Structure 1
Amino acid sequence: MQGNIVTPSTHTTRTTCTPSRAARELNLKRGEFDLAVHLGHIRTVPDEGGGGPRVPRAEIDRLRVGEGFPETLRTRVETVGTKEGAGLLDVPPGRFTRLARLGVVVPVKFYLNRYRAVVWLYLAEELRQFAADENNARLLSGRTPPGLREQLKEGLDVRARNWRVRQLGFLRRQSAGHPWAQAAAVASLLDPAQLAEIVPDPYERAHVNRFLPKATTYGAPDSPTAQVAERILRATDPDEMAWYRADLEQAVREARAVQPAPRPAAVHSPARPQRSCTVSAEPAVPAMPRPHPQAVETRRPRGLLGRLRRRHA
């Protein structure tokens, strides 16, 4: 017996394809394809059948006829680590790391190695553009400016924060302008306790949760690996959390004004018939029930008084 299986319509299947097939047709690895979507280089559309995103055939055709395909597209999503990035900037790896901690170069991806260390990845194209800009020459050679050196000594490291900014931009693009999805994009960078504080209404909070993006898992829940990833996936600095909290409050207000969150229909009990309130001029007095004849007979007086009453009856 078949269940209620939702399948894409024939029209959707004919005019779009799955991400896996699109990646093959674009000569991209799946990770490269996902990053291209993340950066907005490949447009996707929702599946009419309720599944994941799909890629329009027209979008694949557009990319395939582009100049330098597929090398141009691959170059736009090429990522490098610290060592390769330092080579592109022609600086020592230590200096590259300091630039990343200061936010001069911004990571686009990360992963955790077997030692649970965070490995940041950067767009090679962005690093080449940074190195080619003459205004950045002072950051690539000579001593680090005193102000920046002091910040590094105090432990400044904005790599995770900058990654979250990029992530929020990606999620907002993927929300397709849906107001509650926009709010969910911001909520995904805060922990559930803060979401409950900012959105106390349970129906609105449930609606935000409905649109939360599917989170990437890193190890078993509450494992050391998951705890390391949690510090990257969600805001931790007070000033950053305050910014996202204010952003979420504004997003919920806008969503509420455009499309209020659904609520269960009110349950009404059946209406009772109304009794007449008309009062007659002379209220009727209920008649006393007539006694049974046998009962009357048994209550007749006995003796002389009884005989006299029967005689005059």
Structure 2
Amino acid sequence: MSGHTITQEAADTAAPTSVTQSHAARELGLKRGEFELAVMLGRIRTVGDPAGGRRRVPHREIERVRAGKGFPEAWLERIRAVGTTEGAALMDISTARFTRLARTGFVTPVKFYLNRYRAVVWLYLAEELGQFARSESNAGLLTGRASGTLRAQLDAGVDLRARNWRGRYAGALLRQSDDSWERAAAVASLLDPVQIAEIIRDPYERAYLRRLVPAPFGQGAPESPAGRILQKITTADDPDEIRWLRANLTIGISRARGERPAPRPATHPVPDTGPASPPRTAAPEARPRPLRAPDHSPPPTALPHEESKERASEPRGLLKWMRRRGA
């Protein structure tokens, strides 16, 4: 009896304390999109993978979600995302008015996808739309003629859906982790590579951030038509938004460096082959040959003059931009 107990305790101790996100989704009976949205909204908490892989879900978190009131029906209703038509019906307004509210930033998308015609379909949290419609302060936006300011914005082609989604997405990524490098990667994921290179000159640091960037949305290769659309949506293009991201990346990378350096290629020392054998005397007519490095010597990772050229060709970064703004 005691032997069985000891064996069982040892098995429990050896069991992993967390599982992959796909495994957690299956245990909770959630579809992939439902699970990802729940993580983004903070309804399911994740932890970093010690091995450096994708974030994982603790067993205790799965148990907490299962034990929640009304799981799964009421819980799923809180993460239900709807499109324009269903969202307008929930708010009892026309789809045209709903689109105007979304374009001018009164309602913020929670996710998006590309349909078979490569058109962007924005989705909104049903719970938030219901709260917006029930608020008395929003009554004037749901009925009557649009204000002059609103009409001027729409006439100018204002569309804040992508920008507002990026802000929401960045906030969700920053909430998920306390690791400074992961947080810097979350900010960098919304900037153009040129912007990142201006701030982070070290190629190993940039490579490390790329490894930590959240999984891509995966709707087409980067150079495909769908990939270019996704790149446009997920990359900041508004000047104020870019300034905010650049400032946060500058602060974030400084904190990350203070915690630990970015990993670099390991250098292997040349093995000691023992005492050198006495040199052989060359024949009088033989000409001396130039010395060569042993074949097992590791090649240098970067030549100093090449690194100097790379740094000299790059822009001065955020300080130079700030001086131009202050001129």
Instruction: Compute the TM-score of the two structures, normalised by the length of structure 2.
Output: 0.73
Classify the secondary structure of the residue corresponding to 2:124: strand
C-alpha distance in 2 between matches for 1:209 and 1:14: 27
* Partner AA of 1:129 in structure 2: Q
Deviations 1:122-167 (A, max 9, x none): 0001111111111111111111111111011001000000110111
Pick from 104, 115, 118: which aligns with 1:116?
118
Greater Rg by CA: 1
Aligned residue in 2 for 1:178: 179
Aligned residue in 2 for 1:128: 130
Classify the secondary structure of the residue corresponding to 1:196: helix
Aligned residue in 2 for 1:30: 32
State whether residues 188 and 196 of structure 2, in contact with CA within 8 Å, keep that contact through their aligned partners in structure 1. yes
Pick from 93, 98, 101: which aligns with 1:99?
101
Give the C-alpha shift of residue 237 in structure 1.
Answer: 2.0
RMSD: 2.5
Runs (5+) with no aligned partner, structure 2:
1-10, 271-327
Bigger CA drift: 48-57 or 190-199? 48-57
Give the C-alpha shift of residue 16 in structure 1.
Answer: 2.9
Aligned residue in 1 for 2:170: 168
Going from structure 1 to structure 2, the CA distance change for 1:69 and 1:12 (only over 3 Å counts) comes to: farther
Aligned residue in 1 for 2:202: 201
Pick from 134, 137, 148: which aligns with 2:150?
148
Classify the secondary structure of the residue corresponding to 2:170: helix
Going from structure 1 to structure 2, the CA distance change for 1:68 and 1:185 (only over 3 Å counts) comes to: same
Classify the secondary structure of the residue corresponding to 2:150: helix
* Partner AA of 1:229 in structure 2: L
Give the C-alpha shift of residue 28 in structure 1.
Answer: 2.0
Bigger CA drift: 39-48 or 95-104? 39-48
State whether residues 37 and 43 of structure 1, in contact with CA within 8 Å, keep that contact through their aligned partners in structure 2. yes
Going from structure 1 to structure 2, the CA distance change for 1:215 and 1:12 (only over 3 Å counts) comes to: farther
Give the C-alpha shift of residue 264 in structure 1.
Answer: 6.4
Classify the secondary structure of the residue corresponding to 2:39: helix
Going from structure 1 to structure 2, the CA distance change for 1:253 and 1:105 (only over 3 Å counts) comes to: same
Aligned residue in 2 for 1:215: 216
State whether residues 185 and 209 of structure 2, in contact with CA within 8 Å, keep that contact through their aligned partners in structure 1. yes
Going from structure 1 to structure 2, the CA distance change for 1:132 and 1:253 (only over 3 Å counts) comes to: same
* Partner AA of 1:130 in structure 2: F
Bigger CA drift: 243-252 or 88-97? 243-252
* Partner AA of 1:179 in structure 2: S
C-alpha distance in 1 between matches for 2:33 and 2:218: 16
Aligned residue in 2 for 1:228: 229
C-alpha distance in 1 between matches for 2:263 and 2:30: 41
C-alpha distance in 2 between matches for 1:108 and 1:38: 9
Runs (5+) with no aligned partner, structure 1:
1-8, 270-313
Aligned residue in 2 for 1:60: 62
Deviations 1:250-291 (A, max 9, x none): 21122223334355689999xxxxxxxxxxxxxxxxxxxxxx
State whether residues 84 and 123 of structure 2, in contact with CA within 8 Å, keep that contact through their aligned partners in structure 1. yes
State whether residues 12 and 47 of structure 1, in contact with CA within 8 Å, keep that contact through their aligned partners in structure 2. no
Bigger CA drift: 208-217 or 79-88? 208-217
Classify the secondary structure of the residue corresponding to 2:121: strand
State whether residues 222 and 231 of structure 2, in contact with CA within 8 Å, keep that contact through their aligned partners in structure 1. no
Deviations 1:64-98 (A, max 9, x none): 22211111210111010000000011100000000
Give the C-alpha shift of residue 233 in structure 1.
Answer: 0.8
C-alpha distance in 2 between matches for 1:205 and 1:48: 20
* Partner AA of 2:114 in structure 1: L
Q: Percent identity?
A: 58
Bigger CA drift: 239-248 or 84-93? 239-248
C-alpha distance in 2 between matches for 1:206 and 1:65: 41
Give the C-alpha shift of residue 10 in structure 1.
Answer: 7.8
* Partner AA of 1:239 in structure 2: D
C-alpha distance in 1 between matches for 2:154 and 2:31: 37
Instruction: Compute the TM-score of the two structures, normalised by the length of structure 1.
Output: 0.76
Going from structure 1 to structure 2, the CA distance change for 1:268 and 1:115 (only over 3 Å counts) comes to: closer
